[in-house]
Structure 1
Amino acid sequence: MLLSLVWEKYNLDKKIEGYSPLTLKTYYFQYNQLLCHFGNVDMNVITTNQLKSYLLKMGSHLKPSSLGHRIRCIRSLFKWTYDEGFIQKNPAAKLKEPKLGKRIPKFLTEIEIELLREGCQNTMEKALFEFFYSTGCRIGEVVKINREDINFHTNSVIVHGKGDKEREVYFNTRCSIWLKRYLDERGDLEPCLFITERRPKRRMSIDLIRYIIKRISRNAGLKKEIHPHQLRHSYATHMINNGAPLEVIQSLMGHEKSETTKLYAQLSGKLRYDFYTKYF
């Protein structure tokens, strides 16, 4: 079966399975790279060696993590094609991801958090910043939140995480105050929690949120580039520093594996120092 026809069927199947539009967008990019390299060929003619040569040529400039993502996308597409009976052999079955070094998440100090607070120029920026920092949400989760999802009685919100899994997260009093002020000032009927500054008012995109966080960091005078995921890292690190159990942080952040959360414990110099002084 031709590569383009396989993609149409694969894409439809994954939509039915509940894959997010963002995930399908990244998979489409990888499919398009395959199409540009191999052409619209019958997938039965693609061999393991050809895929390896493709990865060597097209992935030479990629970081190991990005190359690993490309390989996972290719394996997923070819496995599905093989399982559906459209190809006789799966040439991607033996493709292995590159080994990754242990990556320590970058977090912000409490002083940097305060500087960012001072860098917020209006109510929207204050509400957006406080929401990211006090909930630890992913940017893809924040863009999907609607006003009606917010419960101001419990200072909580149900978010849809990876794999469309729901979890309840909480925000603090400071965030609650700025969120209420922001929503009161808006005067629109848009259901989304965060909307664009310019008309027509619509839901903020991921790119716009990234831009606003960078704008806040510039106004704060910070020399390093700040992105929303650093606020998530900072949320977890500061909770660990304050003594929160790892299993609680894992639940709040929506980590499937405890190993992901344990990275923050390794990162926390204060936690290590506290244990050192306690036991030595």
Structure 2
Amino acid sequence: MKWKNAIHDYAFYLKIEKGLSENSVNNYTFDVEKLHKYLTEHNINKSPISISEEDLLQFIYSVSKDVQPRTQARLISGLKSFFNYLVFEDYRTDNPTELIETPKTGRKLPDVLSEQEIDNLINAIDLSKPEGTRNKAIIETLYSCGLRVSELVNLRISDLYFEEGFINVTGKGNKQRFVPIADTTVKYISIYRNEIRCHIPIQPKHEDFLFLNRRGRQLTRAMIFTIIKNLAKEINLQKKISPHTFRHSFATHLLENGANLRAIQQMLGHSSITTTEVYMHLDRKHLTEVINTFHPRK
């Protein structure tokens, strides 16, 4: 079995059998492709069937000695998944990663913006340019609805149910959920659609995507990162932020203002409440206020 064939079949399995999104499939296969590249560069003639635990340990040590434990853990996890697939398909009888330990990473708390910082970022948008109106609608949507960047760029006009006060979001694994949308965000999206988007020469197959570039094509994830990076630079924000920062801030601000954790879980599209519970660790002051307000022995 050749590596390219194995990786191709693995990607097909993840997409068809597991129902993973294209982004998730790319993330899983990236680690295996890195392994294949390492073997090629070091003239190690081992196939997916013949590679051993010792070979894998050598590879992991080589590529992981200068990275954080979290990155190393993700690499090992990706390799474990690939070799589990080979065992499942009867290409191998053993998983050579089975005894390789994953480093402990701890739980990293997400970065959060204050409400004032979010206002400052939005106020820094240059509305004299057509893309400024679009960018304001983008930031408002990220923060108001707590979307992942992939969910934002794939948001379609047919997903907007403004009269009902919801948008239909397609999340990980193509799972759909309805997320409430604030009147303010509806207003900025409507301004963008009615005053900017309607004048863009839209390319075929991109007619339904909400947010478009100047050439009339769907925005990329990288473009959203660039927009936010430039805004942070504009206000000299001393935090490293990304589109996901607005999602974290959305959840944290809801929790701080008394929202139910289960409701936040549903809006974020987390399959497990455990994932959402990370926000419980962000604001100890808020938890103290809950005890003082609701506990009978306060």
Please report the TM-score for the alignment, with normalisation by the length of structure 1. Answer: 0.93
- Corresponding position of 1:240: 255
Spell out, residue by residue over 1:150-173, the C-alpha distance to the aligned partner (whole angstroms, 9 max, x if none): 111122111111122111112211
Structure-to-structure mapping, 1:1-280, within 5 angstroms: 1-17=1-17, 18-39=19-40, 41-121=46-126, 122-185=132-195, 186-187=197-198, 188=200, 189=202, 190-196=207-213, 198=214, 200-275=215-290, 277-278=292-293, 280=298
Q: CA deviation at 1:24?
A: 2.1
Distance 1:209 1:90 in 2: 39
CA RMSD for the aligned pairs? 1.7
Conserved? CA contact 1:159–1:166, under 8 Å:
yes
Instruction: Give the conservation status (yes or no) of the 8 Å contact 2:145–2:181.
Output: yes
- What's the CA shift for 1:191? 1.5
Runs of 4+ in 1 over 4 A off after TM superposition: none
Tell me the CA shift for residue 276 of structure 1.
Answer: 5.2
Helix, strand or coil at the partner of 2:85: helix
Question: How many residues are paired up?
Answer: 278
Q: Is the 8 A contact 2:167 2:179 kept in 1?
A: yes
Contact (CA 8 Å) 1:210, 1:227: kept in 2 or not? yes
Q: Distance in 2 between matches of 1:42 and 1:222?
A: 48
Distance 1:136 1:34 in 2: 35
Contact 1:119 1:218 in 2 (8 A): no
- Contact 1:147–1:191 (8 Å) recurs in 2: yes
Range with greater deviation from structure 2 (24-33 or 45-54): 24-33
Structure 1: give runs of 5+ residues left out of the alignment. none
Q: Note if contact 1:118-1:220 (Cα within 8 Å) is conserved in structure 2.
A: no
- Runs of 5+ in structure 2 lacking a partner? 127-131
Deviation at 1:223, TM superposition (A): 3.1
Aligned residue identity for 2:170: H
CA distance 1:102–1:8, change in 2 (3 Å): closer
Q: 1:41 to 1:4 in 2, by over 3 A?
A: farther
Report SS of the residue matched to 2:95: coil
Q: CA deviation at 1:135?
A: 0.3
* SS across alignment from 2:49: helix
Q: Contact conserved, 2:7 with 2:33, CA < 8 A, in 1?
A: no
